[in-house]
Amino acid sequence: MKKLMLIVVLGLMAITALSAHPAANVKAQYDAKTSILTVEYGHKVRDASDHYIFNVMIEVNGKKMVEQNLSAQESLDGGTLVYKLANLTKGDQVKVTTDCNKGGKKSTTLNVP
């Protein structure tokens, strides 16, 4: 009986691990005229309220500037987020990291034009 329970628990853990995945892609674009950073991420799921990107962190030159926690995903395919980041200068490095609530991180980096 204990072996059966162990097999069931391990099977459930494996299924959960298989359903976890980071965003397929993360794209960031900064408009220096408006100081707007637009972040788009692709993260295909079956239920956007159960499996979603739950955390987005934005770092500028290695310093955390913004961290946002989400409770659902915009659509079954991913989402778009918009941030106002004033006072960035040409050459600043912006890193955006997304984190899935089921496991998996995906990042992108851009240099301010």
Domains of the chain (ranges; CATH) run: 21-111 (2.60.40.730)
Q: What is the pLDDT of residue 39?
A: 98
Q: Which helix (H) or strand (E) holds 7?
A: helix 2-19
Q: What is the pLDDT of residue 21?
A: 85
Q: What is the pLDDT of residue 14?
A: 41
pLDDT means over runs of 10, the chain (113 residues) = 54 48 94 97 95 97 98 96 96 98 96 94
Q: pTM for this structure?
A: 0.82
Q: What is the pLDDT of residue 105?
A: 96
Residue 77 zone, left/alpha/beta (φ > 0; ψ -120 to 50; rest): alpha
Judge contact between 107 and 26, C-beta under 8 A.
yes
**Residue ranges of E strands in 10-112:** 25-31, 36-42, 53-60, 63-69, 78-84, 93-100, 105-111
DSSP β-ladder status, 63-69 and 53-60: antiparallel
